[in-house]
Structure 1
Amino acid sequence: MSTVSLPVTTERLVVRLFTQDDLDDLYAYQSLPDVARYLYRPPLTREQCAESLARRVGGTPWAEDGDSLALAVCRADDAGVLGEVVLKLASARARQAEIGWVFNPAHGGRGYAIEAARAAAALAFDELGAHRLFARLDVLNTGSVRVCERLGMRREAHLVENDLDGERWGSEYVYAMLARERQADRA
């Protein structure tokens, strides 16, 4: 894996690799229908969460298209997992990475998602060498729209009814930011 400095600490959070001890917290939000509806998949069973956790522990290499880094997000004063941020290498050649986040709704409305997403974006640009960072999200997921906009990402696309979730057609936004835009925004 490319060298990344983990854990990352922010004002209120610790962003770290998942451990086997995180199963209960992971299942607590990945099993919720309200969480799964924006992920175009059904809620995960405890067994599926355990399998997912086994893949996440220790991270993955960051060298080939599809490699990903899923990170647990915890409050600095509490070890429990609030949610996760994920960086996926979409194109190694073009240095494009996708960012995503999933949080337990019990911890919503406190700004944890934007704080963790900023930390993950810094990892993507500053340590993993991303040229372009993008996010894909359901247009009905207004919380994630706000996170993208607060990160300084621009809306690049609105894909209409591009995915089928059971019997519901879902539409998607694509937001993105280039490394140079982030640098200019920080200056």
Structure 2
Amino acid sequence: MQSLRETGRLPKARWSPSPNFGPRPEGAAISLLVVHNISLPPGQFGGPEIEEFFCNRLDHSAHPFFETIRGVEVSAHALIRRDGSVVQFVSLLERAWHAGRSCFEGEEECNDFSVGIELEGTDDIPYTPDQYRALAQVARMVIAAWPSVTEERVTGHCDIAPGRKTDPGPAFDWAEFRAILARTGDKE
């Protein structure tokens, strides 16, 4: 069985390939995990719209908000739904388009060296226990495959694009996530 580092595919994740990715720059090593949130339409959960958006299949006439994102081509490596299920859009070996203009510890263009994980949610609605557990499991796999991604190098979109992005927002309980991540690490 091939490892995550060889395949870039998260075990047990449903594969839904996005065209919105590219190669990582020569010599770019994965060393950061970025936590995001998304809901489409805003504040609504459970529908197919996030997946359709990341795969450039969103029906922009289905909701007024969708017109505001017409022509936007973005992706993340994976999405964690409210029930904790994981959908993967881009191989972790490739460069997903999730961070935009960004900087972490003086290093610009975080897409080049990061893994982007979206949580189905909003800045101000609490995330589910299933999402925290699934995110901790994914983070632990990434940390094991790429030791340069330490627990300290798991951060929010708001931290790498301050003033431009706010996610995962105040509803994301970093202390709870880090406690679950530590327990996940104890099992290895």
Structure 1 length as normaliser, TM-score? 0.39
Higher percent of residues as helix: 1
Structure 2 length as normaliser, TM-score? 0.38
Comparing both chains, which one has the higher relative contact order based on Cα–Cα distances under 8 Å and sequence gaps of 6 or more? 2
Higher percent of residues as strand: 1
